[in-house]
Structure 1
Amino acid sequence: MALNTHFSRALAKQRGMSYWGWLAIIAVFGFGLTVVSKMGPAYVDAHFVEEGLHSLAQNSGVREMSNTQIKRELDRFFTINNVRGEPTDSVKIIRGADSTLVSINYELRQPLFQNVDVVMKFNKQLNTAKPELCCEPLVDLEQFRKRDDY
Structure 2
Amino acid sequence: MGSAIQVSLGRQRGMSYWGWLLVIAVLGFALTCVSKMAPAYVDARYINEALKTLGENPELENMTVGQIKKEMGRFFLINNVRGAPTEALQVVRGAKSTVVSINYELRQPLVYNVDVVMKFNKQLDTAKPELCCDPLVDLEQFRKRD
> Cα deviation per residue 1:43-100 (whole Å; 9 max; x = unaligned)?
1101100110000011111111011111111111111111011101111000000110
What is the rounded CA distance, in whole Å, between the counterparts of 1:127 and 1:9 in structure 2? 69
Is 1:97 equivalent to 2:95 in the alignment?
yes
Q: Which runs of 5+ in 1 are unaligned?
A: none
AA aligned to 1:60 is: P
Structure 1 stretches of 4+ moved >6 Å: none
Distance in 1 separating the partners of 2:125 and 2:59: 13
What is the alpha-carbon distance in structure 1 between the residues aligned to residue 91 and residue 42 of structure 2? Answer: 23
Q: How does 1:48-127 map to 2 (within 5 A)?
A: 48-127=46-125
Corresponding pairs, count: 146
| Structure 1 range deviating more: 40-49 or 139-148 | 139-148
After TM superposition, the score normalised by the length of structure 2 is 0.96
What is the alpha-carbon distance in structure 2 between the residues aligned to residue 116 and residue 52 of structure 1? 32
Q: Deviations over 1:17-51 (max 9, x none)?
A: 01111111111101101111111100110110011
Give the TM-score normalised by structure 1.
Answer: 0.94
Mapping for residues 123-138 of structure 1, pairs under 5 Å: 123-138=121-136
Cα distance between partner residues in 1 of 2:125 and 2:97:
7
The residue identity in structure 1 corresponding to 2:32 is T
When the two chains are superposed, the root-mean-square deviation of aligned CA atoms in Å is: 0.9
- The answer for the alignment partner of 1:21 in structure 2 is 19
Which residue identity does 2:111 align to in structure 1? F
Report the 3-state secondary structure (helix = DSSP H, G, I; strand = E; otherwise coil) of the residue aligned with 1:139: coil
Residue 46 of structure 1 corresponds to 44
1:37 and 1:145 map into 2 onto residues whose CA distance is 35
Q: Percent identity?
A: 66
